[in-house]
Amino acid sequence: MSDSKEHRKIYRRDTLLKNTKPKKKDEKNRKKSACVNFRVTPEEKEIIFNRIRLSGLMIQDYVAQSCMYNQISVVGNIRTFDAIRNEMKTIDEHLMSLKSVDELELEKLESLRMILEILDGFYKNSDL
């Protein structure tokens, strides 16, 4: 038996199909459809949720803002350098393919900014 979408719809309860709420959009009119999961120790979970409660933000907003806007410490290892090298190759290919500045992708600029922050942190923490 194939597991097609039509086949699965047959067995869904009518209430699931009719009473679905429309997805909420954020302040920039985007649907939040991606899900991010990670594992932590019970002690880390308690600390994280205490910070979330104190911030007054929703969990998803707190985690997203923490990941995007807070400074983090990166420990250099082979995985870090491989990821930076691969992303730099992608950025280089993108820049070489541009015909005008208007075609520049903001995601590539953000990646480059993050790489520069990481490399600056390596330099500041080194004994050079």
Determine the Cα–Cα distance for residues 110 and 115; give it in Å rounded to an integer: 9
pLDDT per residue rounded down to tens, the chain (128 residues)? 555 555 555 555 555 556 566 666 666 677 778 888 889 999 999 999 999 999 889 998 899 888 888 877 777 788 888 999 999 999 999 999 999 888 888 889 889 988 898 888 877 777 65
Q: What is the pLDDT of residue 74?
A: 73
Q: What is the pLDDT of residue 110?
A: 87
Does this model's pTM top 0.85? no
Contact (CB, 8 A) for 94 and 108: yes
DSSP character at residue 21: P
Ramachandran area for residue 29 (φ above 0: left; ψ -120 to 50: alpha; else beta):
left
Amino acid (one-letter) located at 7:
H
Where are the alpha helices (H) located in the chain, listed in sequence order?
5-10, 14-18, 42-55, 59-69, 78-97, 106-125
